[in-house]
Structure 1
Amino acid sequence: MIQPLALRSAAEDIAAPLPALLAGAEHLAAAVLLGDHGRRRAGTGDTFWQYRPAQPHDEARSIDWRRSARSDSNFVQDKEWQIAQSIILWVDQAASMSFASENHPTKAERARTLALAMAILLIRGGERVGLTGLRLPPRRGEAQLMQMAQLLSEDDAIDYGAPEAQGMLPHSRALFISDFLGDIGPVEEALLRAADRDVRGTLLQVLDPQEEAFPFDGRTIFQSMTGALEHETLKAGDLKQRYLDRLAQRKDRLAHLARITGWQFSTHHTGQSATNALLWLYGAMERRA
């Protein structure tokens, strides 16, 4: 388990090193140089967009006199239209996510780092970000990131996690990160409830390379991370094709659910680049079906 105290930010002492999870997320986010979420149209905001000639309906206080002094006409500043979105995250913290093979990070470590890196990018872009299940309502600010790091450091004692639809605001966006190897029913229910509220989002399945390759043969004992589930076989190799078929069916099902609810779906392996995964996530979260 990642200790919560190890994730506390140096809010009182900005010179202190950032905790492990937050530091990793900060480093990952820094690799993705992205600007604010301006909508590139005139409207309410505080970012300068362009000068335009003053119109009869413009108030005198809106005229930029410095710019107007360089011309025979009066000009006003248009601000870039900005609307803060609410984004809700669900990160699977169940025991299955603690699996790792060889020198790869655990699925939990990768999922939490990606989620927190996305939160950093979104909050610093002016968005409000929170967690599902009413644990952390969407807010802005560095303090929100510290609370999120604290909550994401916790582990659940169950084998497989299930997403929560509670707390998703109408017309908001959402991000679910999990291995999605448990019961598919709660995932389907959560996405359908989200669709009813016009919530669009992204599903990211995080798997270990060993879970894709199934490199087992001979006598093998398969055991869940909590030890509650166990299966022993003398011919593990005979199970490979059935396992791979079931995994492909699960991915197809997730892709279908995403498609009919207007979400995006992808699978990421812990042996792959976290930066590439974050870039894909950011692009997926920007798209609206």
Structure 2
Amino acid sequence: MNSHPPLNAAFELASDWPQLLSQAQQLAQSFSLGGHGRRRAGPGDVFWQFRPAQAGDALRSIDWRRSARADEQFVRENEWQAAQAVQFWVDNSAAMQFSSHGESKQHRAATIALALAILLNQAGERVGTSDGALPPQTGRAQISALAQAVARRTSHDFGTPITTDLIPNSLAVLASDFFGDLAALRQRVTRAAALRVQGVLLMVLDPQELDFPFQGRTLFESMAGSLRHESQNADDLRPAYFQALEERQAQLANLAQHLGWQFFIHHTDQPASGALRDLYHALEYRR
């Protein structure tokens, strides 16, 4: 019994980015935004709040109309309106093509990431890729280019984020099953954090990877076919598998917490809207 077949060349080269873009647009449209703002003072023309004047405030910042209604002076503050750069990496390795129910991990990760990019673009943010191939920009053409970028596939078994072209003080969204080299991931994310890049890690898993339903004689083979393991009784592997998965998730959560990032887990049999909501709000508090 094969747990999953290797990719063939035609599958590796397939691209479904128009369908991906359509699904991401629908997901973004279904997301109720409410107010969008940085919720911190800064240059802009959108009113945020009045606060009592403090020593050092310039006279021109005093709102005299509001101050006239009280016994103290008030400063009018607007919300920060500077555009933020948000850079994406969606794992396009062979492992991400796995699916036990129709939608691959990559397709789900790409749909969520692209829907998030659409929402950010609508809010005036600049979006692009973390590898520098698509520098952060705004506009519909940029979203189409991003859809093509996250829909590409490779024949590598597992992926590692490309973070060499992250912009200092930007935001990063990295989506993967994170089954690859953890040391390489830690090194690259730590390097990004040193550039004051803040971000999120989204771990996308298939239900079969959560249930481990294999029994009896089973041949496990990586999606690219480079790794093989035959077990006479797959049931015996279940405890060790679950322990390894839990340890990997804990390591990712600890890495994110140590660097001030956030870590989320999403299963492809769950609504994509939940992950989109989590990511959007995670970035909202960092903008």
Shift of 1:38: 2.6
Shift of 1:79: 6.0
Partner of 1:38: 37
Residue type at the aligned position of 2:273: T
Contact 2:20–2:147, Cα closer than 8 Å, also in 1: yes
Structure 1 residue matching 2:167: 3-state secondary structure: coil
Shift of 1:45: 3.1
Pairing of 1:122-271 with structure 2 (within 5 A)? 122-271=120-269
Residue type at the aligned position of 2:30: A
Shift of 1:25: 0.2
Shift of 1:195: 1.4
Partner of 1:278: 276
Shift in alpha-carbon separation, 1:218–1:34, aligned structure 2, 3 A: same
After superposition, give the CA deviation of every residue in 1:146-188 in whole Å (9 maximum; x if it has no partner).
Answer: 1111112210110000001211111111010000011111110
Partner of 1:20: 19
Partner of 2:110: 112
* Larger RCO (CA under 8 A, 6+ residues apart): 2
Structure 2 residue matching 1:185: 3-state secondary structure: helix
Shift of 1:259: 0.7
Give structure 1 regions of 4+ aligned residues with deviation exceeding 6 angstroms: 48-51
Residue type at the aligned position of 1:204: L
Task: Count residues in correspondence.
Answer: 255
Structure 2 residue matching 1:204: 3-state secondary structure: strand
After superposition, give the CA deviation of every residue in 1:8-52 in whole Å (9 maximum; x if it has no partner).
Answer: xxxxxxxxxxx311110001111112156433566533556799x
Shift in alpha-carbon separation, 1:258–1:246, aligned structure 2, 3 A: same
Quick one: percent identity of the two aligned structures? Answer: 47
Shift of 1:236: 0.4
Task: Give the aligned CA root-mean-square deviation in angstroms.
Answer: 2.4
After superposition, give the CA deviation of every residue in 1:260-286 in whole Å (9 maximum; x if it has no partner).
Answer: 001100111001110111111111222
Contact 2:89–2:150, Cα closer than 8 Å, also in 1: no
| TM, length-normalised to structure 2 | 0.82
Contact 1:104–1:270, Cα closer than 8 Å, also in 2: no
Distance in 2 of aligned mates of 1:224 and 1:23: 30
Distance in 2 of aligned mates of 1:210 and 1:138: 36
Contact 1:136–1:148, Cα closer than 8 Å, also in 2: yes
Shift of 1:219: 0.2
Distance in 2 of aligned mates of 1:187 and 1:43: 34
| TM, length-normalised to structure 1 | 0.82
Shift in alpha-carbon separation, 1:269–1:247, aligned structure 2, 3 A: same
Shift in alpha-carbon separation, 1:136–1:231, aligned structure 2, 3 A: same
Residue type at the aligned position of 2:43: T
After superposition, give the CA deviation of every residue in 1:121-147 in whole Å (9 maximum; x if it has no partner).
Answer: 111111111101111111111110011
Structure 2 residue matching 1:138: 3-state secondary structure: coil
Residue type at the aligned position of 2:143: L
Contact 1:36–1:124, Cα closer than 8 Å, also in 2: no
In the alignment, structure 1 segments of 5+ residues that lack a partner are 8-18, 59-76
In the alignment, structure 2 segments of 5+ residues that lack a partner are 1-10, 51-57, 62-75
